[in-house]
Structure 1
Amino acid sequence: MIEKVGVVGGGLMGSGIAEVNARAGKDVIVVESSTDAVEAARQRLEGSLKRAESRGKIKSVDAVLARIRVVNDLTALADRDLVVEAIVEEERAKTELFRRLDEIVNSPDAILASNTSSIPIMKLAVVTQRPTHVLGVHFFNPVPVLKLVELVPSLMTDPATTERARAFVQDDLGKTAIDCQDRAGFVVNALLIPFILSAIRMLESGFATAEDIDHGLVLGAAHPQGPLALADLIGLDTVKAIADSLYDEFKEPLYTAPPLLNRMVDAGLLGRKTGRGFYTSNGK
């Protein structure tokens, strides 16, 4: 049974993963990098839970928060049954974290999972002494709302580890798991990112405005959100990181980040997280 869950990273994804676990009755520890980040994560969790309470999704904010501790000490994860990494989408940072988690987490049966969008799981597994217990458990933003989780075992992952993760995701968290091979982008992003990049190229070329591109897909193809608005939601830095990872693995031109995307990331125009991307924070 997985009862004690650790989450490394308290940003949008990490806080969402922590929230769904606490709402499912799990004991959750979130680890952040500084006291300021700890406070920001607490506020993010409280705000999300208050919205859930107002919509009747939970009965008590305080009851859920009581199951979550937010700290800036990685060693607090020593007794966890499952640790989910949800830090910056950067290979070096993730591999270093997995080395440390391998040393810190006591139980040899504990699962070390990554929420990476694109980095091959094998690169994370091989830096540990327990590659059979490492896999990708990729949630989607916003985590409390979206039901999908991609399960990504590496060539070294024990099938029993994957099945434990599947039972946890589906039976405990009430989400739907799909199986993915350990290839950059997995299933969803391998399809989604080229689509978003194509929309960015269309905007960049002057073929259509951002509004018309998005309205076209929402009203003409029944998409719930246009590709450029979705890029803002994901974060343009994350879109670029996934595109770069896909290109590094497959070397196909459709995965190449357009110059406009590169310039926007360089300028810090990252979408909703910074208040400005293809749209400003008020959607205009």
Structure 2
Amino acid sequence: MKNIAVIGAGTMGNGITHVFAQNGFKVNLIDISEASLEKGLATIVKNLDRLIAKEKITEKIKSDTLANISTFTAIPDGVQNAALVVEAATERKDLKLKIFKELDEVCQSNTILATNTSSISITQIAAATNRADKVIGMHFMNPVPIMKLVEIIRGYNTSDETTKAIMDLSLQLGKTPTEVNDYPGFVANRILMPMLNEAIETLYNGVAGVNEIDTVMKLGMAHPMGPLQLADFIGLDVCLSILNVLYDGFKNPKYAPCPLLVNMVMAGKLGVKSGEGFYDYSETKKAEKIAKQFV
């Protein structure tokens, strides 16, 4: 399984591509947008340069990694020889079902189809194909090159052979694969998202401010990042999408998204990706932060 295709050049897709390529796999990175592909490759280069600066890799490893990556703007062109396709598109069920239907039609019959979804039913995604035994969840954590966990989710019809192949493959990447069952949010987001939502509720109810909430969780609970900063990092639109999947799946009010989160997403305040969320990430604020280092 040396030929891999990754669909989506965004944060997760380029991170997954980076990890596979650095571990000697040939990777076809696919995105309908040429600009997104260029941005994804630029991110991989930046992350490799950061590893070089920390003396964790050499210049040769960087050049070998980049040589392992090819880019495509059409799915049929990029998946022809792939033994595994990892879908890392936007967290939208309709989009994922469309992609998997196409993958089933154009991929070789023995190709394993994995999704990096963080909450959507693997069984439902597999139902869009005629190879449900070869469809599996392979949920990487962000940032992919750093985080060790890969949440492996079996759909109702995922075979033992497919599961073993993906578990073994994850180990080859230096990751720790952990098998979980196919329920909304799986394990990671079933636990994480209600916590983030509760932090947003705490702000919404005026219990404390943004910095105060994050400080309590960082210093009191030893979290490396406060929940509101983490929500910004994940993307508030992604958080809302996952909470909606949990709420729709369980019909339990404890998963209902906070009205503040809903309003912020509608207003386009999505966190780091939009330049503003619970914190300000605009170029002006970045310039102010840099300037303070020299005062």
Report what 2:44 is aligned to. 45
Matched residue, 1:36: 35
Q: Spell out structure 1 runs of 4+ moving beyond 6 A.
A: none
Give the residue type in structure 2 aligned to 1:182: D
Residue in structure 1 matched with residue 92 of structure 2 by the alignment: 90
Map 1:183-202 to 2 at 5 A: 183-202=183-202
Per-residue deviation, 1:57: 2.4
Structure 1: distance between partners of 2:214 and 2:196: 11
5+ unaligned residues in a row in structure 2: which ranges? 290-295
Structure 1 unaligned regions, length at least 5? none
Residue by residue, what CA displacement relative to the aligned partner does 1:127-166 show, whole Å, maximum 9, x if unpaired? 1111000000000000000000000011100011001100
Q: Deviations over 1:250-272 (max 9, x none)?
A: 01111111111011111111111
User: How many residue pairs align between the two structures?
Assistant: 281
Q: CA deviation at 1:109?
A: 2.2
Report sequence identity in percent. 41
**For 1:87, what is the secondary structure of its paired residue?**
coil
Determine the C-alpha separation between the residues in 2 that align with 1:103 and 1:41. Answer: 27
* 8 Å Cα contact 1:151-1:177 kept in structure 2: yes
Identify the residue that residue 220 of structure 1 maps to in structure 2. Answer: 220
Distance in 2 (alpha carbons) for counterparts of 1:130 and 1:214: 45
- Say whether the 8 Å CA contact 1:41–1:70 is kept in structure 2: no
- State the match for 2:235 in structure 1: 235
Query: TM-score w.r.t. structure 1 length?
Result: 0.96
Alignment match, 2:115: 114
2:101 maps to what in 1?
99
Q: What is the TM-score with the length of structure 2 in the denominator? A: 0.93
Pairing of 1:167-206 with structure 2 (within 5 A):
167-170=168-171, 172-206=172-206
In 2, the alpha carbon distance for the partners of 1:138 and 1:207 equals: 34
CA drift of 1:70 comes to 1.6
Identify the residue that residue 207 of structure 1 maps to in structure 2.
207
1:52 Cα deviation from its structure 2 partner: 1.8
Question: What is the 5 A alignment of 1:61-100?
Answer: 61-75=62-76, 76-100=78-102
- Residue of structure 1 equivalent to 2:292: none
